[in-house]
Amino acid sequence: MVKKFKIRKDDTVQVLAGKDKGKRGTVVRILPKKDAVIVSGVNIVKKAMKKRSPQDQGGIVEIEAPLNISNVGIVCKKCGRPVRIGYKMDGDKKVRVCRKCGDIL
């Protein structure tokens, strides 16, 4: 069974809980098997990387680690804060809308 999430790639989200609470970024990748998202510039961790090829650099690298999808909220462009998402039929299309102001996300 494929899981469906209301948050998608390239959405602007804000971290609601954890060490980076309050930071904003865009969703780089969604990991449905782990119920997680990777957000640009958030949850940076240091990882030791092995040198694989002559042009590849080894050593300690900073990468973005996954966050649980429940710890991020999508930011509405009109409201300017994290909101919940609803759905509305726009003709034949199903679109995501802000629950606060009703604006299309």
Beta bridge partners of 47: 61
Residue with tokens 């069974």: 1
Please give the pLDDT value at position 79.
Answer: 87
Please give the pLDDT value at position 55.
Answer: 82
Please give the pLDDT value at position 8.
Answer: 92
Architecture of domain 12-77: Roll (2.30)
Domain-wise residue ranges, the chain: 12-77
In three-state secondary structure terms, 92 is coil
Evaluate whether 76 touches 24 at the Cβ level (below 8 Å): no
Q: How many helices (H) and strands (E) does the chain have?
A: 0, 10
Please give the pLDDT value at position 53.
Answer: 85
Listed as ranges, residues in the chain with pLDDT below 70 are none
Give the pair of three-digit tokens for residue 74: 């999508």
Please give the pLDDT value at position 17.
Answer: 93
Q: What DSSP character marks residue 104?
A: B
